[in-house]
Chains A and B, each alone.
Chain A
Amino acid sequence: MRAARTAYPLKWRIMDALEGVAAAIWPARFRRATPYLMLLPAVLLVGLLVLGLIQIADASLRTLDTTTFQFSDDYSIANFRRALTEPLFLVVAQRSLIAALIVTAVTLVFAFPYAYLMVRTRSPGLRKFLLIALFLPFFIGQVVRAYGWLIILGNQGMVNEALGLVGVAPMRLIYNYPAVLFGLVQYMLPFAVLMLAPALTAIPEELEAAAGSLGANWVRTFIHVVLPLARPGFIGAGVVVLTLSLTDFAVPAILGGGSHDFIANAIYDQFFRTSDQGLGATLALMLVALGSILVGLVFALFGAGTLAMGRSRA
């Protein structure tokens, strides 16, 4: 009895039963259609997105009549002209773009040692600690976290109180550009580490030992072996951080205090403050275009990295 159970465990029996049920519902001759069937949810989702995009494209071509609060029936490119000429939008776009680039660079620099240590450490305790520390922010959520920074860095915040104790006058630590950048880096770090770690895991440790025995100290091992091989991870992490920062809403809203808006905040204002959905839609489309161009540029210059799932380069 016992021998039979270990030879053919319960798990296998359950699987057999499930397979039997599956075969009754979906006979083998339909099998060729199975892959397409499994793609269906994804196709539906993307399809909905495309529908929404068409809707937005339609809205972007209609102008708002400020006296009647009605949208025009005929199409015009007035919204696009406004978006491209009004200094406010250019400033916002420039601010978002520069922030995204700075945040990406700084995040990658900070994320790499963290990911490297997490992957290479021989101590299981340290690895667990680093992993938990990595996921903790995900449980807390972006808004709460940004709000937490207010508590810490605000005018009556913990930092200023501590400074007060040693006789330093309170400083304005938030509602400025560096505060937004700081908040974004802190928010992006776990994403970057998560994207870098698999790329580092894929580099055999033996390669580093080999570089050592061939005469490379750790700096040169890092430059000539680890860095080039970690490149797919850098590209993947870079693209994710770049697009997430470029389109971020909560951090500039809370830590920028309305004076350091990003494109997403400007779009929000158009939709929900001035109710100019036409202009909001225009800005949204331009954000999509900007993001696509940036990602396309990265892929064209460096290949798709880990996002291409191992088919990156010859």
Chain B
Amino acid sequence: MQEPFRAVASREAEGGREIAVTVRNVGMDFDGVHAVKNASFDLPKGRFLTILGPSGSGKTTLLRMIAGFQTPSSGEIFINGEAVSAVPPHKRSIGMVFQRLALFPHMTAAENVAFPLKMRRRDARTIPERVERYLELVRLGGYGGRRIHELSGGQQQRVAIARALVFEPDLLLLDEPLAALDRKLREEMQLEFRRIQRELGVTTINVTHDQREALVVSDDIVVMDQGEIQQKAQPIHTYRQPRNAFVANFIGVTNFIAGTVRAVSEAGDVSILRGDLMLAGKIGDPVNPPAEGDKASGAIRAEQIRLAGDAAQLSKLDCMLAGTVTDTIFEGERMVYEVACAAIGDEVIRVFDHDPAAHTQFDIGESVFLGWNARDMLVFR
């Protein structure tokens, strides 16, 4: 009965690596609420996958099903090629770091880290040495005797990581464990995760709604919205080639200009008409391309637009729009301009100014020109 599944589930991935986790057509219903719909992906061994999505998109639900705390309403999950729906959490070899850490408050840091080893009946003589080694791995050597409440937030985080890794699980699951930390510590811990994951080579699934974290730490990103997987790709592709308007909008700062498709070429060039303005762009989603006459919108990122006081400076760019600065937001490393453009009905376009040489500064009310290249505008239905 399971043979065909197993044969498919344990196939080699594109890179020739073995598959650690397969999620196939998995769905989860909570009394009519579809928390996860028909999710499928493969995760090769040793990779770091991030599930990224807004609040309520089903990330935690998907993770809990992989961990075994919830049973999928439909579909099947395979770990190392084995269907696991009948396997309880304590028999799966999964280390999990919880959103609120779930450290045992009545134990010391070392006792917390030793817990999974004791539960798995490892040789008692090797436990102390092993615990200390993993505490050192998370840079907490010598802190083993502390109680949990005697540790700082970041240190507790590290204990949780050590505890999830010490028994060398096949799979590490992280449910937004960094969400509660301040930004500096969070960025430090993101790199720490990355370092430890590379050092141990453990297959990891991380859940977050922080797009920066997803881009920085992952080999692959799965973007979810309303229970559905929108795209699975490497970070750079997720950012540069979003497959639909949701992904384009969720990651980065993106402007959308709605219009009607006028022409589509074999090579993937599209032009859309908005009022009297014709805009040239590229097909965003080759699987679901727009056709002539469709309503569509062109997506252009804030950092791909150039800003200038006179039109001549932008003459090398494919598209140009005139507008008026309505707001300026200083973000330290860059200035964000909001520009209302008459040609698109005074809709506001956001532009990052990161010109390190000129340091030109525009004020609210000033007339400016925006320019960009046609290949940077992706057109989605």
Taking beta carbons and an 8 Å cutoff, which residues of A are in contact with B? 204, 206-207, 209-217, 220, 224-225, 228-229, 314
Contacts and interface: CB of A to CB of B under 8 A. Distances in A.
A167 B156 CA distance: 67
Nearest to A209: B69
Contact of B90 (A206, A215, A228, A314): A215
B380 interface: no
A229 B104 CA distance: 9
Interface size class of B (residues with CB under 8 A): 20 to 34
B153 interface: no
Given A211-B104, A213-B90, A214-B115, 19 more contacts: A204-B102, A206-B98, A207-B104, A209-B98, A210-B96, A210-B102, A211-B119, A213-B69, A213-B95, A214-B90, A214-B116, A214-B119, A214-B163, A215-B119, A215-B120, A217-B90, A224-B119, A225-B104, A228-B106
19 contacts: A204-B100, A204-B102, A206-B98, A206-B100, A209-B69, A211-B115, A212-B88, A212-B89, A213-B67, A213-B68, A213-B89, A213-B94, A214-B90, A214-B164, A215-B90, A216-B115, A217-B88, A224-B115, A229-B106
B262 interface: no
Interface of B: 67-69, 88-90, 92, 94-96, 98, 100, 102, 104-106, 115-116, 119-120, 147, 163-164, 167
B116 A212 contact: no
Given A209-B89, A210-B96, A216 B119 contact: yes
A257 to B, nearest CB: 46
A220 B119 contact: yes
Given A212-B90, A213-B90, A314-B147, A206 B102 contact: yes
A231 B165 CA distance: 29
Nearest to B175: A206
Contacts of A212: 68-69, 88-90
Contacts of A229: 104-106
Contacts of A207: 102, 104
B367 to A, nearest CB: 40
Contacts of A220: 119
Nearest to B105: A229
Nearest to A206: B102
A198 to B, nearest CB: 16
Closest A-B pairs by Cβ, 6 of them: A215-B119, A210-B102, A214-B116, A212-B89, A206-B102, A216-B119
Contacts of B104: 207, 210-211, 225, 229
A214 B98 CA distance: 12
Chain B CB within 10 A, most for which of A215, A216, A228, A314: A215
Given A204-B100, A206-B100, A210-B96, A215 B105 contact: no
